[in-house]
Amino acid sequence: MARIVQFQTNFSVGELDPLLKARTDLEQYQNALEVAKNVLVQPQGGVRRRNGLKFIHDFGSSFTDFKLIPFEYSSSDSYMLVFVNLRMYVFKDGVLQTNINGSGNDYATTTITAAMLDEINYTQAVDTLILVHEDLEPQRIVRNSDTSWTVEALPIDFVPQYAYVIDFHSPQFTITPSAISGNVTITASSVTTDTGTAQAGSSDTITLKAATSYTSNDQPNGMFIEITAGTGSGQTRHIEDYVAATKVATVYPAWTVAPDATSQYEIKAFKPAAVNEYLNVLSGFGRARYTEYVSDTEMKAYVEVPFFDTDPIASGDWESEHGWEDAWSATRGWPRSATFHEGRLYFGGSKSRPNTIWGSRVIDYFNFNPGSALDDDAVEATINTNQLNVITHIYSGPELQIFTTGGEFVVSQSANNPITPSTLLVKPQTRLGSKPGVPIEDLNGATIFIQRQGKSIISFQFQDTVAAYNTTALSVLSSHLVRQPVDLAVRRATSTDETDRLFLVNNDGTMAVYSILAAQNVIAPSEFITDGSFIACAVEIDKAFVIVKRTINGTVNYFLELFSDDFTTDSAKSGGAAASVTMDHLQGKEVQVIRDGVIEPAQTVPATPYTITFETASTSSYEVGIDFDVEIKTMPAEPRLAQGTIQGTKKRILQIDAIVYETQNMSINGKEVAFRQFGVGVLDTATQEFTGTKTVSGVLGFTNTGQITVTQTAPQKMTLLGLEYRMSVGN
């Protein structure tokens, strides 16, 4: 029987996937844990009890769907916005703002329904937050003051056009271009016009006046008819077909309001509605897009295919291409994602055009007019590959990144040149696909997203060695903790005592929390659980907020809570000198009382007035909240002896030396470690924090694994830096 001394110097791998339990050959195995529950891995390699949750607000049971969106207005003003069905709540420094917009309500009204919250996307610039969803006209939220917020539809100056149902006609007049290429003027001649009062109308027809100028069936086809007065006034349509015998003109598209015998009309060669329609030359070369209305016989246009010459083009030798309409509308759907990138506002995907991106004019964020394709005009591109690429997110990184259900793309910018209509080129990079509804985040230059099937956390980053973007699975050693995520947030480290943290809310109510130290290649996951379920998360600068679903007296309630270094319990309240505290949000729950650092017996929150009375009044501080379990369990012992593995050998741990830092409470393999010091005046005082080595001896029994389990019996500080243990190995 051999005696072995093992020393686990750090826990920087975090909780390891059970599928890797046999991979003792991995370097990560020696620094991993089988269980890391409700702990955080520190940059130096130790693990500590996770932060408790401070109670912020009780939303009751009326709302079940939530979206948390941080809003940073300035270096001194930041907010957490909580969206529920048709409402937006504003929290500043964890305090609910009331009397919003002078309404007497503690919320602002919105048009965002509960069904939209799961897939709401957003982007922010200075004081304006833009929210998008395929069933929601893009919204902007503007902060005027802490309690004054404007919530309205985004005032888009020009919506890009698209021919969902394209239509062609051969207007019966002559056109003449002023030049063969570039920006030109198109002049109409030999035009027969008509004005008057209609005789009748229907959903898609209008009967012209009896003495109309049109005596043949083809004369007005393709021309514009506008209702100038009477019923249906203000509508402009193309004439699709005309029957001279009956004076009935069929229009396209159908009228919004059908005309009647009171409707006055005029028929002209051009109207403002012609902007963004096309003319195509049939008997030669030439294709141009109308860019500006000048008069009823003159349009400015941008030539996409040069004309052969500037001679007049007679009727029958050219056609009008129309059917163009707003690319976004209540009928066609709205953009699904948004970002600001290099002076443009970009939208990505819509219900009808799921694989298209649009960029506004430069520094004219709400104008998507392609104009004459000048460098600062709006841009547009559609991703066409051999699979469907529904855009889920777009992100402004070193280049514009596009995430779809089928893969990851970038808009290539050679030599850091800006994106222009002539240089816009979307290039595929990787083919994983991203999960709709889960936000993407930047972390140290890498873009973090959830793989389409919801089983992996992916890092998307440019690699100099291959001059392309590559993906890395951050969760490859901990895939068991990624369970169909519904929300994601990143909190960046603010000191050398902490790592960057990636919070992942799973659909089973747990959280996978990754402690990441990129410089040291540390990716250490742990699992957070609470008395209830985590529903949503977001980070406001350095404050991590969560929505927690808790069952209170048989009723499901939803709380906004905040991870805080000052708390060791959940859904907690704190204060100074007091004899009691009201815990009305936790009626019927067992809560732990920490008074002046002393752990008092647990109590159950009674019915009204929901008061928890302390055994002794606090003189400096108290905390009352729900305790949570902490568990740290090492991997099965594998000392890598010269004679080979000991996986199948019986083992007995004889002594454990735990190196701890500022720790007050800890149990090792079920044996509670003593931290209170004997002496005068130690009763009814807080347990002193201990830094050093605590030894546990006499651990009985042989096992097949030789594992150590560290737990806590009280909600107090605990930081475990390393474990040295003596083990007897034999058959």
Three-state secondary-structure class, residue 336: strand
Letter for the amino acid at 381? A
For residue 372, the model assigns a pLDDT of 85
3-state secondary structure of 590: strand
Final residue belonging to a domain, choices 422, 437, 452: 437
Is 70 exceeded by the pLDDT of residue 546? yes
312 and 201 assigned to the same domain: yes
For the CA atoms of 658, 661, 666, 670, the dihedral, rounded to the nearest 10 degrees, stands at -10
Mean pLDDT of the 241-265 span? 96
Does residue 115 fall inside a structural domain? no
- Tens digit of each residue's pLDDT (9 = 90 or more) over 277-291: 999 999 889 999 999
247 and 199 housed in the same domain: yes
* Residues 312 and 331 grouped into a single domain: no
In a domain, 598, yes or no: yes
Residues 6+ apart with CB under 8 A from 95: none
Q: Domain boundary residue among 325, 359, 381?
A: 325
336 and 316 share one domain: no
pLDDT tens digits for 421-449?
999 999 999 999 999 999 999 998 899 99
Boundaries of domain holding 600: 570-626
**Gap between the Cα atoms of 217 and 448, Å rounded:** 62
Give tens-digit pLDDT for 193-213. 999 999 999 999 999 999 999
Asked if residue 527 belongs to a domain, the reply is no
CB 11 within 8 A of CB 1: no
Q: Do 279 and 333 lie in a common domain?
A: no
Decide if 120 is inside a domain: no
Contact 391, 349 (CB under 8 A): yes
Separation of alpha carbons 511 and 481, rounded Å: 8
CB 553, CB 565: distance < 8 Å: no
In the predicted model, what is the mean pLDDT of the chain? 93
pLDDT of 678 reads 63
- The model's pLDDT over 294-304, given as tens digits with 9 standing for 90+, comes to 999 999 999 99
User: What b-and-e string marks burial along 428-461, b requiring 16 or more CB atoms within 10 Å of the CB?
Assistant: bbeebbbbbbbbbbebeebbbbbbbebbbbbbbb
How many domains is the chain partitioned into structurally?
4
Q: What are phi and psi of 159, to 5 degrees?
A: -90, 130
Q: Looking at the structure, do residues 641 and 714 belong to the same domain, yes or no?
A: yes
Predicted confidence (pLDDT) per residue in 163-192, tens digit: 888 889 889 999 999 999 999 999 999 999
Examine the domain organization and report whether 297 and 183 are in the same domain: yes
pLDDT at 323: 83
User: What span, in angstroms and rounded, lies between the C-alpha atoms of 612 and 586?
Assistant: 11
CB 30 within 8 A of CB 7: no
Q: What is the pLDDT of residues 548-577, one digit of tens each?
A: 999 999 999 999 999 999 999 999 999 999
* pLDDT, tens digit, 9 for 90 and up, residues 83-138: 999 999 999 999 999 999 999 999 999 999 999 999 999 999 888 999 999 999 99
Q: Which residue has the tokens 């019915």?
A: 607
- Enter the tokens of residue 599: 């752990």
Considering 275, 309, 325, which residue would you say is the last residue of a domain? 325
Q: Are residues 645 and 614 part of one domain?
A: no
User: Angle at CA 122, nearest 5°, toward 116 and 128?
Assistant: 120
Same domain, 192 and 300: yes
pLDDT given for residue 704 in this prediction? 83
pLDDT in tens, 660-717: 999 999 999 999 999 977 655 556 788 999 999 999 987 877 888 889 999 999 999 9
pLDDT digit string, tens, across residues 629-639: 999 999 998 88
State residue 679's pLDDT score: 58
Residue type, 64: T
Within a domain: 420: yes
Task: Give 492's pLDDT tier (boundaries 50, 70, 90).
Answer: very high
The two tokens of residue 62 are 């009326």
Residue 44 lies in a domain: no
Which residue shows structure tokens 């927690």? 548
DSSP assignments along 58-96, one per residue = E-TTS----EEEEEE-SSS-EEEEEEETTEEEEEETTEE
637 with 621, same domain: the answer is: no
Confirm whether 471 is domain-assigned. Answer: no
291 shares a domain with 245 = yes
Q: Give the percent of the chain with pLDDT over 70.
A: 98
What whole-number distance in Å separates Cα of residue 574 and Cα of residue 258? Answer: 66
Q: Is the pLDDT of residue 397 over 70?
A: yes
Rounded Cα distance, 251 and 265, in Å: 13
Q: CA-CA distance, 461 to 397, in Å (whole number)?
A: 10
pLDDT at 642 over 70: no
Looking up tokens 């149990």, which residue turns up? 667
Asked whether residue 482 is domain-assigned, the answer is: no
237 plus 320 within the same structural domain: yes
